[in-house]
Amino acid sequence: MTSNPPDQFTTTVSRNESEALLRRIIHEELTRPLEAQRLSLLEGQSREGPDDPDSDAALLADMLAQIEREAVTPAPRIDWAAVKAKLAHVEAAGKSPD
């Protein structure tokens, strides 16, 4: 039997445990950009300085322009219901998801 250094260990993980771990990691990685975007919006508010009507007007104009751009060419969205349905179908067939 080999011994591991004090800062390492060996463990056995079942296939189900491995899949559950991978799903959790993927879920966390997919939600991270959303959280970062949400936090950046809040951070912008927390750095609000003294009243500056000119800067406020410029910021408002930028935000309205972004809203208009989003209305014309919306960012691609992921249909999570479709993803879950496809994953369930693939798993039911006993295949690995693409």
Domain enclosing residue 27, as ranges: 9-48
What's the pTM value of the predicted model, to 2 decimals? 0.32
Q: Are residues 22 and 44 in the same domain?
A: yes
What CA–CA distance (Å, rounded) separates 49 from 16? 52
Dist CA 32 CA 10 (whole Å): 29
Same domain as 57, residue 95: yes
**Do 36 and 66 sit in the same domain of this protein?**
no
Domain assignment of residue 4, yes or no: no
Q: What is the pLDDT along the chain (98 residues), one digit of tens a residue?
A: 567 677 888 889 899 999 999 999 988 888 777 776 766 666 666 666 677 788 888 989 999 998 888 888 877 777 888 888 888 888 888 876 55
Q: Rg of the Cα trace of the chain?
A: 23
Counting the structural domains of the chain, the total is 2
Question: Is residue 47 within a helix (H) or strand (E), and if so which, with residue range?
Answer: none
The verdict on 42 and 78 lying in the same domain is no
Q: In whole angstroms, give the CA distance from residue 86 to residue 82.
A: 6
Is 2 among the domain residues?
A: no
In this predicted structure, what is the pLDDT of residue 31?
Answer: 78
